[in-house]
Amino acid sequence: MTQAGLDYAWPHRDLLGLEDLSAQDIRFLLKTAHGFEDVSTRSIKKVPALRGRVVVNLFFEDSTRTRSSFTLAASRLSADILELTGKGSSVSKGETLTDTARNIEAMGVDLIVCRHAQSGAAKHLAHAINCSVINAGDGQHEHPTQGLLDIYTLCKRWNLMDTMDLTGKSVAIVGDIAHSRVARSNIHGLQKLGAKVILVGPPTLCPGTFRSLGCEVSHDLDDVLPRIDAINMLRIQFERMTSQFFPSVREYATLFGLTGQRIKKARPELLVMHPGPINRGVELDAAVADGPQSTILEQVTHGLAVRMAAMFLCLNAKNRE
């Protein structure tokens, strides 16, 4: 073999979190995603790569974007897809997660895409069953495909698709870091590719303990804004907050919301990301969310390519075992 890199093989049958991946794994997955991107723009939006495979979407939490993205990604790869939700299934009759998954697996399933409110649920599942597992969000732990599509979006906007080396770039993640699986996946992924990560939020939602992950922690958005290349504005997850973490939504918006006025303190080329769904007027102003610096809709588009790549590589790795 004369071509460099051909001796590399994607080693993971499951995608549980970016913490488990090497920089080389992340770059290989994103390069593979680049090859999948054009499938969504042609007249026949389908390739036969996973023909005859069965993918199950097993979602125990509400989701629109991620779930439909996985469904569409699977169908563009010609896989069959089965949709299951926690509500209205045997789970509400008291069946355990493992039992549910084993029963689904017994139907001859190749891949389970799982979202669950419990951190570690995907890993638990991966140990319990033989088919591949992709984590579509587990509690406050990780949401690896979101982290990957965020990094993919940055690499594309920065013209770094060749190297995917983010050395010298600074990315701020703002908001409810403590409850956020998106933040954890981004922290691991961005740092592995060389970027500096700055976490910003009120001390109750952005505690200093995150410094142990190698991040800078700040409680002052205006101080951070002028020195970053991209900012990822997280949604305030009211559904995950069991007590009061800040005095009022209005105060939070005043201190940590990104408005058309505040963004003027940043570099003009600053990229604004958001994993969706947006609380308009809280973490993002309409003017910023819909402005030229916003990558929000690109992130959704890239999510498809990244999820196609993740399914393709995990199933392929299982195949090679």
Partner 1 sequence: MSTMTTLADSSKIASLVSELAGQINTAISANESTHPWAIVGIRSRGDLLAGRISEQLDSSVIEERLGVLDITLYRDDLSEITHQPVVRTTEIPFDIDGMNIVLVDDVLMSGRSIRAALQSLMDLGRPRRIWLAVLVDRGGRELPISADFVAVDLKSQQLDSDTIIDVHLTPLDEQDCITTHPKQKGPTK
CB closer to partner 1 out of 32 and 293: 32
Q: Provide the minimum distance between the beta carbon of 126 and partner 1 in the complex, in angstroms, as a whole number.
A: 21
> Which residues bind to partner 1, rule: CB under 8 A?
2-3, 5-6, 8-10, 31-32, 34-39, 42-44, 46-49, 52, 77, 309, 312, 316, 319-320
* Structure tokens, 158: 């920065």
In this structure, are strands 230-233 and 170-174 parallel, antiparallel, or unpaired? Answer: parallel
CB closer to partner 1 out of 43 and 212: 43
Q: Provide the minimum distance between the beta carbon of 237 and partner 1 in the complex, in angstroms, as a whole number.
A: 35
CB closer to partner 1 out of 7 and 87: 7
* Structure tokens, 137: 């969000």
Phi, psi of 258, deg, nearest 5: -100, 110
Q: Provide the minimum distance between the beta carbon of 19 and partner 1 in the complex, in angstroms, as a whole number.
A: 22
Q: Provide the minimum distance between the beta carbon of 293 and partner 1 in the complex, in angstroms, as a whole number.
A: 26
CB closer to partner 1 out of 151 and 217: 151
CB closer to partner 1 out of 28 and 59: 28
Bridge partner list, 112: 56, 133
Q: Provide the minimum distance between the beta carbon of 79 and partner 1 in the complex, in angstroms, as a whole number.
A: 12
Q: Provide the minimum distance between the beta carbon of 44 and partner 1 in the complex, in angstroms, as a whole number.
A: 4
The total number of residues shown for the chain amounts to 321
CB closer to partner 1 out of 289 and 313: 313
Helix (H) or strand (E) holding 272: strand 271-273
Task: Please give the full DSSP string across 84-152, using - where no structure is assigned.
Answer: EESTTSGGGGT--HHHHHHHHHTTT-SEEEEEESSTTHHHHHHHH-SSEEEEEEETTTB-HHHHHHHHH
Side-chain-side CA neighbours of residue 111 (13 Å): 34
